[in-house]
Amino acid sequence: MNTCRCHTPPFDHRDFVKRRIGRDATRGRDGEVSVLTCKHCAAQWLHYFVEYEGFTGSGRWFRTPISDADVATLAPEQAVPFLQRQTWFFEGGSYFQSTGRRASGVVHVDL
């Protein structure tokens, strides 16, 4: 297991450089899709953030490692299926009442 801080919650946004990929409009969710690059070890992460206006505590984000090849071909609407194919990911936000934790299984992006 990697010992870099990008692999150990709690996470700090200042440890990453963020590059926006676009918006995922699937099912009206308007998810923000980005690639985060760790400033310390250069690991790349697919980052997905969504929150639902009018629903308190609905904010959630997901993050999983992603390769250069996958970054080059990933469209925003492919982000959730990509996350769902991973054996593990990090999740956090007000929905989970967490600043970040390792998870696997279902990716709870929809209400």
Residue 1, pLDDT > 60, answer: no
What mean pLDDT do residues 36-45 have? 97
Residue 19 inside a domain? The answer is yes
CA distances for 106 relative to 24, 95, 110, angstroms: 18, 14, 11
Query: How sure is the predictor about 109, in pLDDT bands with cuts at 50, 70 and 90?
Result: very high
Residue 110 inside a domain? The answer is no
Residue 111 inside a domain? The answer is no
Residue 108 inside a domain? The answer is no
Residue 52 inside a domain? The answer is yes
pTM: 0.94
Residue 21 domain boundaries: 5-103
Residue 32 inside a domain? The answer is yes
Residue 13 inside a domain? The answer is yes
Encoded amino acid at 45, one letter: W
Segment (H or E) for 84:
helix 79-84
Q: Indicate the number of domains in the chain.
A: 1
At 60 the three-state DSSP class reads strand
Task: Say which DSSP state 101 is in.
Answer: E
| Mean of the per-residue pLDDT values of the chain | 95
